[in-house]
Amino acid sequence: MRTVTAAWSTRAADALLRREPVVGTRWAYEWATLLKGVDQVRRATGDQRYLQYIRSNLDRFVHDSTIATYSREAFDLDSVAGGPLLLSLHRETGDERYRAAAQVLGEQLRAQPRTPSGGFWHKRIYPDQMWLDGIYMAGPFYAELAVAFAEPSALDDVARQVTLIAERTRDERTGLLRHAWDESKRERWADPATGRSPSSWGRALGWFAMALADILELLPARSAQRDRIAPIFGETMAAAMRVQDEQTRLWWQVLDQGGREGNYLEASASAMFVYAAAKGVRLGHLAPTHLDSARQGYDGILRRFVSASADGDITLHGTCAGTGLGRRPDEPDMTYRDGSYEYYVHRPLETNDHRGLGAFLMASVELERASGTR
């Protein structure tokens, strides 16, 4: 087994700084996830190079109280994913532009369309649909705003979003959550009885697990919201650990179909579960055995997905490309994403994908903390 050292988080972050001085041309959740990983390396090391890197990338979008290329009227929860970065930059620099931009994203959440049960639509183009991804995109930011501005009703709403989607997407047989839920049951991928999508996709549940770990860290030590969310986190992680591959200690693209023809082990979901498990143990919400599983999973990531070149570049292989459900209104019907097993296992794999690399940085920092090297 490879020893977890501080080198992995900093080596991967330093390689990123050299390889991609600019990480995005539009306001997007993919590079926001990546930069949140860099921000965790910054907090662990105190290295100001990482702060400057994050700031230089966000400054390309943040102008006074506006965010370039961002559209509030799209009501896209993915667009809120950069909110924690704005709050972090405001704390570190005192620059009011970042707080004003964060408030712009907060206003979107206050106006976000909702399902009849009160769940946030994932996007305006997906009416009455909640996706697990959206809990990560919006939940931690929403909770951080609520704590900062002492808004208990907003914290109640965070817990409401978590509990609602957990109840409506859970597969009673496996305990795993399905990718999404359509309360209207009109979407073609929706089960006519439950509204659930057909499959338990690895990264979707990984987003959800990371979100709950991050939200729990923000909540007051004794709160009704914590009492509601903590059991869901425990149940979710227990279900995820049951489908951890016995040989590689990684996680599959379709979680409950391990070893089935076409299924593959996937980097981003594996890193997300490692992060959530290690952080959950640190926060006291998970048993120490989860840390053992996280360490085994991290070692599997290093063996299977990470390569290092002689010039110091660190490459992460094996991350599933962008993956969704249904179709956008401007897309032809042949592109319909039905959420089936066949759909997920035919998604291509990417190298140094921002989602996977961001999760790897977060997982590295957490395990380095657990090993005492941070």
Could you tell me if residue 76 is inside a domain?
Answer: yes
Domain harbouring 130, CATH code: 1.50.10.10
Could you tell me if residue 362 is inside a domain?
Answer: yes
Could you tell me if residue 1 is inside a domain?
Answer: no
pLDDT at position 372 over 80 = no
Could you tell me if residue 175 is inside a domain?
Answer: yes
CA dihedral 243→247→248→253, nearest 10 degrees, is -40
Amino acid at 115: T
Give CA–CA dist 139/215, Å, rounded.
7
How many of the other CB atoms lie within 10 Å of CB of 335? 9
Could you tell me if residue 200 is inside a domain?
Answer: yes
Could you tell me if residue 103 is inside a domain?
Answer: yes
Question: pLDDT for 124-162, tens place per residue?
Answer: 999 999 999 999 999 999 999 999 988 999 999 999 999
Q: Which member of 76, 78, 128, 133 is catalytic? A: 133
Assign 3-class secondary structure to 113-127: CECCCCCECCCCCCC
The reply to whether 133 belongs to the active site is yes
Question: pLDDT for 255-277, tens place per residue?
Answer: 999 999 999 999 999 999 999 99
pLDDT value of position 330: 74
Amino acid at 113: P
Beta-sheet pairing, 306-308 with 314-316: antiparallel
Could you tell me if residue 34 is inside a domain?
Answer: yes
| Domain range enclosing 336 | 7-371
Q: How many domains does the chain have?
A: 1
What is the model's pTM? 0.96
Give CA–CA dist 168/185, Å, rounded.
12
Could you tell me if residue 2 is inside a domain?
Answer: no
* Contact in structure between 212 and 186 (CB atoms under 8 Å): no
